[in-house]
Structure 1
Amino acid sequence: MAIYHFSNQIISRKKQQNTIAAAAYRSGERLVDERTNESKFYKRQVEPITHILAPSHAPKWVYDRQQLWNEVEKVERQWNAQLAREMNVALPKELSHEEQEQLAIEFCNEVFVKDGMVADLAIHRDDEENPHF
Structure 2
Amino acid sequence: MSANPISRVRLLGSAAIVITTAAALIAAVLSIGPSGLTWAFIIGGIAIGYAILSFVLHLRYPDAADAAWDEQNNQAHRDSLIFGFWAVLAVFLVFLVLSLTDRMNPAMAFYWLGPVLGAVPPAHYLVSIMRGRAE
State if a TM-score over 0.5 links the two structures.
no
Q: Which one has the bigger helix percentage?
A: 2
